[in-house]
Amino acid sequence: MTIDTVDAAAAGTWQLGDRTVNRIGFGAMRLTANADGSPSDRERAVTVLRRAVELGVNHIDTAAFYFSPLRSANELINRALSPYPEDLTIVTKVGPGKDPSGRWLPMARPDQLRGQVEENLRQLGRDHLDVVNLRVYGPEPLAEHFGALAELRDAGLIRHLGVSAVTPGQVAEARAIAPVVCVQNSWSLGYRRSNDALIRDCAAHGTAFVPFFALATSGREAGASGEEHDEVRAVAREHGVTPAQVRLAWTLHQGPNVLAIPGTGNPAHLEENVAAGALRLTDDDLSRLAAVHETA
C-alpha cells in the first residue's frame, strides 16, 4: 500500500441524506491545540485541511465549541477550504457550548439552538449547514431539542440532522420527529461495546454510524496514546502498517454504514489515516480482532 497513491475513495462511499461521502473522513477537534494544550500552529492546521481534501476527504466533522485560546476549528476550515468544493460535506454539532475562557456551559435550551446554528454558519461562512448533530448528555428525552432543529431544517438553515452521544431509545425518539442520517457515538475496537447493537440498528435503518475516538486504545478518549493490544500489533506487522491503521480498517469493516473521522494536526498522520481506507483485512485478521473486541 503506497500512501502517495491512496485516495479516501478507496474506503468506499455512503449517503448522508443527499450527500455522498467517502467513508474515511476527518475530525477537526484536534486541529486547535497540541497534545500538551498549547495552541496549534495555524499554517500547519491549514495545510492538514487542504491536504485532506487533496487526498479525497469530503466529510469533515467539526463544531463551534472546538476552539482553544487562539484557534477555532471552524475558522481554520473556512480559511483553508473556502470557497468550498461542491462535494465537501461539513458536519457540525450543537447542544453543548463553551464560554470565551473555554469552560463548558450547560446544555443549550431548545430556544438557544438557533443561535448555535447561526454561529456555526457565521464561522464557516455558509448560508446553510450540510448536517447538524444534536449532541446529548445523559438519558433525558431529546424531543424538544430535536424538534427545534427540525424547524431549522424546514427553514432551510440545515439540510440534514443527526444525533451524538445517544442511547438507542434516544435515536428512536429522534427518528419519530425527523429523518436521522447519522449517529455519532464514542466507540472503537475493544471500547464501548455497548454500541455494537446500535450499529446494527443503524444499518437496518440505512443510517450512518460515525464513531468518534475510533483510535482509542487503553488510553480511551485520550486517543491512540495508551498501551496497544498485542494482537493488533501482530496484525499491523503482518500487513506492514501501523496499529492505528489496523484500528481504522477494522472500523470500516464493521459495515458499509460505518464511517471513520480520525482527527490529527500532523500531516504524516493524516496520510496514514487516509491510507487505512485501502487496507483490506483478511477473514483471519477479522476473527483475531473480533476476539480482541469481545474480550476487552
User: What's the rounded Cα separation, in Å, for the pair 124 and 116?
Assistant: 12
The single-letter code of the amino acid at 59 is: H
* Cα–Cα dist 39/28, whole Å: 14
Q: Which residues are catalytic?
A: 66
- Which neighbouring-strand residues pair with 212? 186
Q: Helix 113-124 vs helix 73-81: angle between axes, to the nearest 10 degrees?
A: 40
Establish how many alpha carbons lie within 13 A of residue 45's alpha carbon, considering only the half-sphere containing its beta carbon: 24
DSSP secondary structure of 45-60 = HHHHHHHHHHTT--EE
Q: What are phi and psi of 65, to 5 degrees?
A: -90, 10
Residue 182, all three cell numbers: 447519522
Q: Are 150 and 180 in contact (CB under 8 A)?
A: no
b/e code 25-56 from CB counts within 10 Å (16+ = b)? bbbbbbbbbeeeeeebebeebbebbebbbebb
